[in-house]
Structure 1
Amino acid sequence: MKVSIITATYNAAKTLQSTIDSITEQSYRNIEYIVIDGDSKDNTKQIIADNKQYISRHISEPDKGIYDALNKGLNKATGDIIGFLHADDIFKSEDTIQGIVSLFENTKSDGVYGDLEYVATDNTNKVIRYWKSKAFKYKMLKAGWMPAHPTLFLRKEVYKTYGNFDTRFKIAADYDFILRVFKNKTLNFSYLPNVITKMRLGGASNKSLTNIITKSREDIQALRNNKIGGFHTIIWKNLSKLPQFIKR
C-alpha cells in the first residue's frame, strides 16, 4: 500500500528538517511525501530544495491558510492511505507508518488513529501533554470526543466520498471534517494504542484568547452543520482535555 504524507508549511525553517528526517527514517518505504509551502519568506524553500530527493511533490505559492494548503496536498495525493505530518511535528518512531499500514491491512479499516504527545518546542523528548485516545463508538461524538487529527490516517476513498476541509473554518475545519466522516456508520475505524505523532506546542487554536473564542464558535458551528450534539458537547469536549495534562 502506498502512503501519502502531506506537510503544510509556512516559515517553518526552524523545525522542517526534523519533520523531513522523521519521514526519511521510516522503516516503511512506500511513501509519497508531499510538501505544500505557503510561499515562505525564511529559509524554508532552501530546506525543501536541499531535500528534494525525498519529496515526491512540492508546491510553493501563497495560500488561504493551513486548510487550503492541506486541500492542495489532498488533491495531489495518489496513495492508498493519506495522513498529515505538520512542519512542527515528528513521528514517534521509525516504525510508526509500518504499524499503521499493518492495522489497515489486518482490519480492512477505513481509518486508523492513535495517541498524540504534545512536546516542548525545544525538546521533543519532554512531554507536556498526552492525548490518549480509545476505540471509537458513535455515541462518543455527542460527548465531544474526537481522535487527535495529527494521528488520523484515512483511505483515499474517504476523501473522495466525503470531501476535503471546509475552508470557511479558520481553526476548526479538522473537527468539522472528523464529524462529517465519523458520523457515517458505514465506515470502520481502528484505534492503534500507540503514540503516532509528537507535536510541538504552539498550535493556532490556543495562541490567544481570541483564537480560543473563535475555535469555540467554530466548534459549535461544526456540530450544527453535522447535526451532532450542542453546547453541552463543547463543554464535555473541553473538560475531556484535562486528564491529558496529568504527568505520566
Structure 2
Amino acid sequence: MRVSIVIACLNGGAVLARCLDSIAGQTFTDIEVIVADGASSDGSTEILHRYSEAFGAALVWFSEPDRGIADAWNKAVVRATGDWLLFIGSDDALASPTVIADAVSRLALADQDCRIAYGRVLLVDDAGRVQEILGRSWSARDFRSCRFNLPHQGVFHRRVLFEGGARFDTSYSIVSDFDFLLRELMFAEPMDIGDLVVCRMRVGGISNRPQWAPRGIAEQIRLYRSHVGGMSPILYWDMAKAWIKVALWLLGGDALVSSARGIYRGRSLRAIRPPVRKES
C-alpha cells in the first residue's frame, strides 16, 4: 500500500522544513509527497530543492500561481499514485514517526467500498501546547446537517475517489474539504480509525483564524442550502457566535479568544455533566 501526502504551500518557508521532516522520519517508507506551491516568494522553493535530494523520486513538487487551497489540491491529485491520499498544510506536522504505519495497518482492514477513513488531529499553539483534539465518533446526522466536519488533516481518501473526475470546489475558500466529503458521504459511511492522532495542526490556519470565522460559517450555510436545502437556525446562531469571536479578537487578540473559548466550554460541560450523587 502506498500513501500520497499532499501539501498545499504558499510562503510557508518558516514551517515547511518541519512538515517535511515529520514525513521523512516515518517508519513506513512507501510514501509519496506532493507539494503544490502557489508561487511562493519567501524561499519555499529553495527548501523544496534541498529536500528533493533527500526524498528523491518520492517528492514531487511544482510552483505556480493558483486560486487557493482547493485549486492547489486539484492540481496535486492528478499527480498522485498512492492508494490513499492525505492532505495537510505546510504548517502541519505528522503526529509521530509511526503514525503512517499505524494508519496503514488500520486502512488495510477497510472494506473495498469504503473510500474515506479518518483519525484525530491535535490543534496546537506555536509552542506545541495542545489546544484541542479535533475529531470524534461518526455521526451521520450531525455531519449531513453541516454541524460536524471530519478533521481534514486526519482524513485518508482512496485515490479512486478522484479517478472519476471528482475535484474540490474552488469557489469555497475555507470549507472546500467539507463540500467534497459531503458529496461522498451523504449516502456512504466513513471508517473511523479510532483514537489515532494523525497530525498536529498549528493554530493560525485559515480554518481556525477568528477573523475568518464569519466567512467560514457563511460557507457552511451555503453548504447546507446546497446539500440539505432550506435554512438552518443552528448555523445562523453559529454565525452570531462567529462575529462575537471576531469582536473578542479585535479587543484582545488570540489570547482573549482562547480564554473565552475555555470558559464557554467549561460551562457547557458543567451544563451536561450529571450531578454527583452523595452517599448518605
TM-score bucket of the superposed structures, by smaller chain: 0.7 to 0.9
Q: Are residue 144 (structure 1) and residue 166 (structure 2) matched? A: no
Q: Does 1:215 align with 2:216?
A: yes
Among 200, 203, 223, the residue aligned to 2:202: 200
Q: Within 5 A, what are the aligned runs for 1:55-74?
A: 55-74=58-77
Deviations 1:101-157 (A, max 9, x none): 111111323222111111112x22x112222411x2422322612211111001111
- Show structure 1 runs of 4+ deviating over 3 A: 205-209, 235-239, 242-246
Partner of residue 192, structure 2: 190
In the alignment, the residues of structure 1 paired with residue 153 and residue 237 of structure 2 have an alpha-carbon distance, to the nearest angstrom, of 21
Which amino acid letter does the alignment assign opposite residue 47 of structure 2? I
Residue in structure 1 matched with residue 82 of structure 2 by the alignment: 79
Distance 1:150 1:45 in 2: 23
Query: Whole-Å Cα distance in 2 between the matches of residues 46 and 13 of structure 1?
Result: 9
3-state SS of 1:145 partner: coil
Change (3 A) 1:227 1:35: same
Structure 1: tracts of 5 or more residues without a match: none
User: CA shift at 1:162, angstroms?
Assistant: 7.0
CA deviation profile, 1:80-117 (whole Å, cap 9, x unmatched): 10111210000111111112111111132322211111
Q: Return closer, same or farther for 1:169/1:127 CA change in 2, 3 Å cut-off.
A: same
Q: Which runs of 5+ in 2 are unaligned?
A: 242-260, 267-280
Deviates more, 1:145-154 or 1:155-164: 155-164
**In 2, Cα distance between equivalents of 1:224 and 1:158:** 24
Q: TM-score, normalised on structure 1? A: 0.87
Query: In structure 2, what is the Cα distance between the partners aligned to 1:194 and 1:13?
Result: 28
Identity of aligned residues (%): 29
**Aligned residue for 2:247?**
none
Shift of 1:191: 3.1
TM-score after normalising by structure 2: 0.78
- What does the per-residue CA deviation read over 1:187-230, in whole Å, with 9 as the maximum and x for residues that have no partner? 54233312111011101134353x22221111111122212684
2:225 maps to what in 1? 224
Residues 57-77 of structure 1: CA distance to partner in whole angstroms, max 9, x if unpaired?
Answer: 111111111111111111111
Higher relative contact order, chain-length normalized (CA < 8 Å, sep 6+): 1
CA shift for structure 1 position 160: 2.9
Q: CA RMSD in A?
A: 2.4
Count, aligned residues: 239
Distance 1:188 1:214, change over 3 A: closer
Q: Quick one: distance in 1 between partners of 2:234 and 2:28?
A: 38
**Structure 1 residues 143 and 81, CA gap change in structure 2 (3 angstroms):** closer
Residue 42 of structure 1 aligns to a residue in which SS?
coil
In the alignment, is the contact (CA less than 8 A) between 2:121 and 2:154 conserved in 1?
Answer: yes
* Pairing 1:14–2:34 present: no
2:65 equivalent to 1:28: no
